[in-house]
């Protein structure tokens, strides 16, 4: 298992070197694509993002569509060969694992965990507490506060216990904040109050004391009201000895918006609290149809996210939210937008892929 932090590449001089080197052309990085890592004096590089990430001190992961994993051989080969961690895109969400109250279906999630073990990959569990993708019996039920609290405790305990010893990082609480920094008006906040967050972490920790426990959210890449509110919350939780170990920064960007160039400053705030961090769901969507300029802007968006992680000692995972445009969630959620991933529908790498390789290669060279 990789160390949780990197011991090099974070001093001010190293940071300047790392950032300045990103102006190299992505074509030069792509030129090293076919070689194996050699000894001193060789210019060849490891083939996969996962191997390059290992040399730079972090895992490189992807969210996995388990239907595609079972049915699409090229997809399966890319997941196995390109990445060193995996996240269950949907099959660990509550509506899937407990479609009827008290009846669990772990089959698809178990298959992903087994696949990861066979391929030497770590698993990020996603997600235990969320306001979305809840089973119908829960959304439609009329539960007292005490009943709902027990339902949540049981769900967290059952799921974490089922996967005990097999999950590296859990997204325990997902998307608990509004963009203005207030807590989201969810079933959990309305019925249980803000204390549900601390309870969730305590229950998860009891079920698997060795798993690393994260709070995960979107639009917290830069310093803003939402990321500041999250920083204040995790500060309070840590002071109360709640077992929060990390913060997942999702990284869903769009080329039509400014990239979060203050991401390293933001991530270092969490680093100073002794927390791990991860870029947990990176993608960069484009208004369709995509042109070459937008693809270059997309590459820079991915690079901004990765640089923020590399310049933060406690950032130990960089996960793309899917890697092929064929299976992207973006077109259904953002009509008229797409092409958000690092490979196109035919698994041809885009400039973003080459830029990630280049960035990781440069970081590894300073290790």
Active-site residue list: 175, 281
User: Half-sphere exposure of residue 155, counting CA atoms within 13 Å on the CB side?
Assistant: 27
**Contact status, residue 85 vs residue 64, Cβ threshold 8 Å:** no
Using only C-alpha atoms, the chain has a radius of gyration, in whole angstroms, of: 20
User: Half-sphere exposure of residue 10, counting CA atoms within 13 Å on the CB side?
Assistant: 19
For the record, the structure tokens of 21 come out as 């080197």
CA distances from 34 to 48, 228, 282, 355 (A): 10, 43, 25, 16
Distance CA(122)–CA(274), nearest Å, equals 22
Look at residues 224, 356, 357, 226 and name the one whose alpha carbon lies nearest to residue 301.
356
Distance CA(115)–CA(120), nearest Å, equals 9
Distance CA(59)–CA(179), nearest Å, equals 29
């Amino acid at each position: 298992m990789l160390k949780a932090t990197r011991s090099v590449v974070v001093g001010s001089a190293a940071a300047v070197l790392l950032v300045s080197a990103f102006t190299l052309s992505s074509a030069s990085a792509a030129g090293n694509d076919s070689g194996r890592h050699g000894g001193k004096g060789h210019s060849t590089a490891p083939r996969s993002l996962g191997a390059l990430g290992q040399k730079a001190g972090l895992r490189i992961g992807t969210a996995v569509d388990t239907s595609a994993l079972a049915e699409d051989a090229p997809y399966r080969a890319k997941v196995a060969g390109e990445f060193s961690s995996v996240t269950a895109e949907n099959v660990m969400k509550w509506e899937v694992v407990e479609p009827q109250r008290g009846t669990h279906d772990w089959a698809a999630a178990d298959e992903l965990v087994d696949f990861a073990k066979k391929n030497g990959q770590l698993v990020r569990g996603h997600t235990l507490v969320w306001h979305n993708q809840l089973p119908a019996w829960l959304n439609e039920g009329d539960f007292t506060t005490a009943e709902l609290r027990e339902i949540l405790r049981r769900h967290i305990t059952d799921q974490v216990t089922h996967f005990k010893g097999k999950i590296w990082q859990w997204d325990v609480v997902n998307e608990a904040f509004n963009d203005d920094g207030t807590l989201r008006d969810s079933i959990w906040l309305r019925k249980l109050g803000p204390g549900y967050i601390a309870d969730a972490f305590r229950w998860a920790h009891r079920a698997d004391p060795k798993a690393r426990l994260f709070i995960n959210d979107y639009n917290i890449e830069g310093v803003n009201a939402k990321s500041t509110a999250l920083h204040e919350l995790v500060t309070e939780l840590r002071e109360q000895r709640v077992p929060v170990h990390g913060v997942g920064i999702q990284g869903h960007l769009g080329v039509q918006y400014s990239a979060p160039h203050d991401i390293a400053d933001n991530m270092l705030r969490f680093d100073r609290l002794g927390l791990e961090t991860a870029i947990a769901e990176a993608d960069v969507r484009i208004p369709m149809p995509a042109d070459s300029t937008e693809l270059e802007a997309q590459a820079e968006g991915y690079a901004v996210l990765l640089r923020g992680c590399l310049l933060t000692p406690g950032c130990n995972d960089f996960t793309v939210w899917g890697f092929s445009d064929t299976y992207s969630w973006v077109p259904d959620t953002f009509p008229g937008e797409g092409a958000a991933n690092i490979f196109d529908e035919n698994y041809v790498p885009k400039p973003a892929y080459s830029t990630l390789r280049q960035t990781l290669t440069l970081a590894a060279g300073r290790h």
